[in-house]
Amino acid sequence: MQEFLQNAKNASRIVASLEPKTKDKILCQMADALEKNSQNIIDENQKDLEEAKENNLSSAMLDRLLLNEKRIIEMATALREIAALREPVGRVLDGWVVPSGLRIEKVTIPIGVIGIIYESRPNVTSDTAALCFKSGNVCVLKGGKEANYSNAIIASVLQEVLVENGLPKEIISLLPDNTREGIGKLIKMDKYVDLIIPRGGEALIRYVSENATVPVVKHDKGVCHLFIDEDANLENALKIAINAKCQRPSACNSLETLLVHWSIADIFLPAMKEAFDAQNTQIKGCEKTQELLHVELASEEDFHTEHLSNALSIKIVQNVDEAIAHIAKYGSGHSESIITENYTIGEQFLNEVDAACVYINASTRFTDGGEFGFGAEVGISTNKLHARGPMGINDLTTYKFKVYGKGQVRA
Amino acid sequence: MQEFLQNAKNASRIVASLEPKTKDKILCQMADALEKNSQNIIDENQKDLEEAKENNLSSAMLDRLLLNEKRIIEMATALREIAALREPVGRVLDGWVVPSGLRIEKVTIPIGVIGIIYESRPNVTSDTAALCFKSGNVCVLKGGKEANYSNAIIASVLQEVLVENGLPKEIISLLPDNTREGIGKLIKMDKYVDLIIPRGGEALIRYVSENATVPVVKHDKGVCHLFIDEDANLENALKIAINAKCQRPSACNSLETLLVHWSIADIFLPAMKEAFDAQNTQIKGCEKTQELLHVELASEEDFHTEHLSNALSIKIVQNVDEAIAHIAKYGSGHSESIITENYTIGEQFLNEVDAACVYINASTRFTDGGEFGFGAEVGISTNKLHARGPMGINDLTTYKFKVYGKGQVRA
């Protein structure tokens, strides 16, 4: 493992100093190579699918795993889109001259070696490798075991293009020890690895956070809220609540708890329930909600839950302060929204709620790299530092200060 | 500990929403309070000094610990200067409109609860508390045991001002369990603490990095290099090498290894040695250096060493590539400098050396918040992420996305 990561570290100096046009040319060659090798990729993917069937994986899981001609073309297209993104390295973030006459520039640079732990969809392998490559980083990929054959062939197709261009194949690496022990070693190698991005279940993320000595940017759960204020446009409120909960309940930016101002609860909630019923949404509610709707009582536990399914809890609150306090207690700092026409209430919510994304009069479902205009996304960070919320390619860079002198010494 | 940190977390919501002018007024009141209580502070400081003498601390340590009227006035002045800094919260870092019509703003916010571990100088207590307060954060301070009495009285003077203004005293907290076990608990409380900043010896920083589940911004050692290229202005080279090594050898931005291009070594090094000898600098060198100078052989270990004293190693290299490779192997990513008049060589060094601060034709000693124009500094980060190099007050903020809609739902 140590030798493997030493090679990755050495490769990081090479990829960091490639010219933009070289990187873009290679990314387009990688796209071509995926398409040219599509039959090989489909054959290897078939092995994963067969094992998955033997292991009785759900049909949803099988679909996530499946690669066909169309999906491989989509993977290639994603690589060409990443090639077309603006160069993320060398952006001047700030610059100034200090009294000593030194000229200082704050400039973006690659992070170095990035370990990424993810599951299922094999397209993540090529997307992530391409995002890391474009931003001048080495990636060490640890995909799900269920996609072992698919990830191996995709990585080897991309590596072949690197080698054809005289570059070390370690620039795109798969973690050689694809087990929990392998992860355990990787996350402690702070001498070689600069960042770990775990995307996956709570147990994995907890394990990584507790054991890593390498800095971690987590992609953890979303317990998202929507607060319907007394000054809400109720038509918008209804439409946004349905979208936030029902459009894709398995997404981390989907709604878990609806907070409703008491003064409009009796008009709003019956109509809201009718709309949710039409979507077969499972509703629980607080005691006050139960006075208005025929629903089960929501427990303390329910308010902490990321359902990942078409289910939610409703709570009636006194005012925006109670809504903000509820979110501070139960929210996971992901995405929170208020529906109101009241300027002061809206400002208070936007300023006082601490989350990666705080919305007014919009669905929480927009928390997404694509919707934010970042192009391909690395994921949605639930970290508070370095990268927060939708992570685009610029979040795969850090910075250094370049300082230009003319012989200055410190007095 | 848990209850204490829960209170700190609750207080963080209050300090985060204070108006700028309220914070600045309170900071000035704190400055006044320090001056008004100077005799009390000096009396408590005396107890620390007596214990320190009993424990046979060095006179340098005693001087670091000492508070007198003049130093307390300096502490108060620092608070007034922090009050005068530009408000760090609410800065709009970026803003744009996406195709869905949502208007997105990336805005700075406080980090939350910040644990800071430091040593000796009691003025760090008031400086750090003020920087955290101005940036809307709660601080949990863990100073050195040798300054227990001094830190306690300073914190209590500041807390009294908070309470007089109707604010919870937990906004400025001292860690109640001031032991290694106390630190061990603090750094695992990721539910309440958002960031740990350890400033101190290698052992402390290693301990915190290995055991924390809270994100860490380290202030670790500096193994800094100066490369004298063949196209250097040798007069500048000499002056800058002396400044970088000798002006304050105990600083983390001081020079540890001088790298010299072979083609100028025979002219440059004898003059350089004469200048170092005049400063009583202890010199070791590589084998090639030994052919030119009468010095001890520098070992592998020497090239890894942060001397913190007036000592350095010299290595003769073939070219800028070898200099960059040496820095990649032995450097700590702190501050690196090249002396050259050659444009291409200078560009290569600035771009390829991975360190927080990379200089051309200037002394590494400028890596400092004050010299960078940041005003008071939190320290010098050796992290690669979040904050790198001199950490100013803006590095005590993170960001959130505010998203302004008019009823949008995701398609």
On whether any CB of chain A is under 8 Å from the CB of B400, the answer is yes
Residue B67 has pLDDT above 90, yes or no: yes
**Does residue A189 sit at the B interface (CB-CB below 8 Å)?**
no
In percent, the amount of chain A with pLDDT more than 90 equals 91
Of the candidates B239, B359, B399, the beta carbon closest to that of A403 is on B359
Q: Where are the alpha helices (DSSP H) in A37-96?
A: 38-54, 59-65, 69-84
**Residue A116 C-beta-side C-alpha neighbours within 13 Å:** 27
Higher per-residue pLDDT: A220 or A162: A162
The CA distances from residue B70 to B30, B38, B75, B393, in Å, are 17, 10, 9, 25
CB contact under 8 A, A385 and B398: yes
**Nearest residue of B to residue A339 by CA position?**
B407
**A17 with B351: Cβ contact below 8 A:** yes
Q: Is A329 on the interface with B (CB under 8 A)?
A: no
Residue-wise pLDDT tens digits, B108-141: 999 999 999 998 789 999 999 999 999 999 999 9
pLDDT at residue A369, rounded to an integer? 92
Q: pLDDT digits over B320-331, tens only?
A: 999 999 999 999
Residue B181: count of CB within 10 angstroms of its CB: 10
Q: Residue A60 pLDDT more than 90?
A: no
Query: Cβ B371–A98 below 8 Å, yes or no?
Result: yes
Average predicted confidence (pLDDT) for chain B: 95
- Nearest Cα residue to B161 out of B13, B31, B6, B21: B31
Q: Does B98 touch chain A (CB under 8 A)?
A: yes
Tokens of B139: 């601080």
Q: Is the separation of the CB atoms in A308 and A249 below 8 Å?
A: yes
- HSE (CB half, 13 Å, CA atoms) of A292? 23
Q: How far apart are CA A17 and CA A199, in angstroms?
A: 28
pLDDT in tens, A281-323: 999 999 999 999 999 999 999 999 999 999 999 999 999 999 9
ipTM of the complex: 0.94
User: Can you tell me whether residue A28 is helix, strand or coil?
Assistant: helix
Q: What is the pLDDT of residue B180?
A: 87
On whether the CB atoms of residues A92 and A106 are closer than 8 A, the answer is yes
Write the DSSP symbol of residue B298.
Answer: P
Q: How many CB pairs under 8 A join A and B?
A: 202
The answer to whether A158 touches A33, Cβ cutoff 8 Å, is yes
Expressed in angstroms, the distance from the first to the final Cα of chain A is: 47
Residue A235 clears pLDDT 80, i.e. is over it: yes
Residues of A in contact with B135 (CB under 8 A): none
* Integer CA distances (angstroms), B180 to A66, B1, B185, in order: 52, 14, 9
Q: What is the mean pLDDT of the segment spanning A192-207?
A: 90
- The pLDDT, as a whole number, for residue B285 is 98
Cα–Cα dist B334/A67, whole Å? 46
Tokens of A217: 């940017």
Of the ranges A68-77, B178-187, B195-204, which is most confident?
Answer: A68-77
**pLDDT tens digits for range A107-126:** 999 999 999 999 878 999 99
pLDDT at position A119: 83
Cβ of A243 within 8 Å of Cβ of B398? The answer is no
Paired with A96 in beta bridges are A104
How much of chain A exceeds pLDDT 70, in percent?
A: 100
Residues B361, A209: C-beta atoms closer than 8 Å = no
Interchain contact A371–B (C-beta under 8 A): yes
Q: Please give the mean pLDDT across all residues of chain A.
A: 96
The band of A61, judged by pLDDT with boundaries at 50, 70 and 90, is: confident
Copy the structure tokens of residue A93: 């973030």
Q: Which domains does chain B have, with CATH numbers?
A: 2-220+382-404 (3.40.605.10), 224-366 (3.40.309.10)
Per-residue pLDDT of B371-408, as tens digits, reads 999 988 888 999 999 999 999 999 999 999 999 999 99
- pLDDT value of position A335: 98
Does the CB of B178 have a partner CB in chain A at under 8 Å? no
User: Is beta strand B103-110 parallel, antiparallel or unpaired with respect to B172-174?
Assistant: unpaired
- The region that residue B379 occupies, defined by phi over 0 for left and psi between -120 and 50 for alpha, beta otherwise, is left
pLDDT of residue B220 exceeding 90, the answer is no
Candidates B309, B348, B350, B312; CA nearest to B330 is: B312
Alpha helices in A279-355 (DSSP H): 287-292, 300-304, 320-330, 343-352
